[in-house]
C-alpha cells in the first residue's frame, strides 16, 4: 500500500503525526458530528446514564444529582457535555485553547480522577454505535476514540 511501511514492528503511514488528529480523523469526526445533528444533548444524557449504570463509582461525583432514569439534571448535564464536545469539534486544530476554561474547571474545581474520562468516552462511543451503526465504521470508531482521548487529555492537562 503506497505510503505505508513497517517500522519497529508496526505498520505506519508516511508523514503520520503522533497522537495528533490526522486530516482523515478530522474529516471523520466532523462527519460523525454532523450526523448527530440535534441529538447531541440526548446522546450526552444517554452516555451519562450508561456511565453511571455500568461504572457505579462514577456516581460519586454526582451526590447532588437525581440519577434515576429520565432525570432532568442528567438531561441538562448531558447537553452540557454535548455542547462542549461540539465546541471541541469546531476547534480540532486548537483543542488546548478552545477547552482552556473547561480544563481549568476540571483541574481546580471538579478534580475528576482521570480514569473516569475513559469510562465516559467509552459510553459515548457505545451510544453513538447503537444509534448510528452504519456510520460507525472501524475507521470512524478509531477517529472518534482518538478525538475523545485528545479531549480527555486536554481536560486533565492542568491537574498537576
Partner 1 sequence: MVHFTAEEKAAITSLWGKVNVEDAGGEALGRLLVVYPWTQRFFDSFGNLSSTSAIMGNPKVKSHGKKVLTSFGDAIKNLDNLKGTFAKLSELHCDKLHVDPENFKLLGNVLVIILASHFGKEFTPDVQAVWQKLVAGVATALGHKYH
Position 115 contacts partner 1 (CB under 8 A): no
Told to check if 139 binds partner 1 by CB under 8 A, we report: yes
Span between the terminal Cα atoms of the chain, in Å: 43
SS3 content of the chain, % helix, strand, coil (to 5): 65, 5, 30
Rounded to a whole number of angstroms, the minimum distance from the CB of residue 68 to partner 1 is 12
Return the residues of window 35-64 that contact partner 1 according to CB under 8 A.
Answer: 46, 49-50, 53-55
DSSP run (H or E) holding 81: helix 72-89
Taking contact as CB under 8 A, which single stretch among the options 34-42, 86-94, 105-113, 137-145 is the one that binds partner 1? 137-145
What does the block give as the cell for 53?
449504570
User: Cβ of 120: how many Cβ atoms within 10 Å?
Assistant: 21
Helix axes 40-54, 72-89, angle to 10 degrees: 120
* C-beta of 30 vs 141, nearer to partner 1: 141
Q: CB of 79: closest distance to partner 1 in angstroms? A: 18
- Which of 9, 63 has the CB closer to partner 1? 9
From CA 112, how far away is CA 51, in angstroms rounded? 14
What are the residues binding partner 1 (CB under 8 A)? 1, 4, 6, 9-11, 46, 49-50, 53-55, 122-123, 125-127, 129-131, 133, 136, 138-139, 141-142, 145
Amino acid at each position: 500500500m503506497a505510503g505505508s511501511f513497517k517500522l519497529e514492528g508496526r505498520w505506519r503511514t508516511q508523514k503520520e503525526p503522533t497522537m495528533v488528529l490526522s486530516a482523515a480523523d478530522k474529516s471523520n469526526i466532523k462527519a460523525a458530528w454532523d450526523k448527530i445533528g440535534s441529538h447531541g444533548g440526548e446522546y450526552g444524557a444517554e452516555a451519562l446514564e450508561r456511565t453511571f449504570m455500568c461504572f457505579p463509582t462514577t456516581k460519586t461525583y454526582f451526590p447532588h444529582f437525581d440519577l434515576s432514569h429520565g432525570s432532568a439534571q442528567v438531561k441538562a448535564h448531558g447537553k452540557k457535555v454535548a455542547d462542549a464536545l461540539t465546541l471541541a469539534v469546531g476547534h480540532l486544530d486548537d483543542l488546548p485553547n478552545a477547552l482552556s476554561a473547561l480544563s481549568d474547571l476540571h483541574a481546580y474545581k471538579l478534580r475528576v480522577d482521570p480514569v473516569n474520562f475513559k469510562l465516559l468516552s467509552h459510553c459515548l462511543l457505545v451510544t453513538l454505535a447503537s444509534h448510528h451503526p452504519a456510520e460507525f465504521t472501524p475507521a470512524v470508531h478509531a477517529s472518534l476514540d482518538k478525538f475523545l482521548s485528545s479531549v480527555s487529555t486536554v481536560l486533565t492537562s492542568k491537574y498537576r
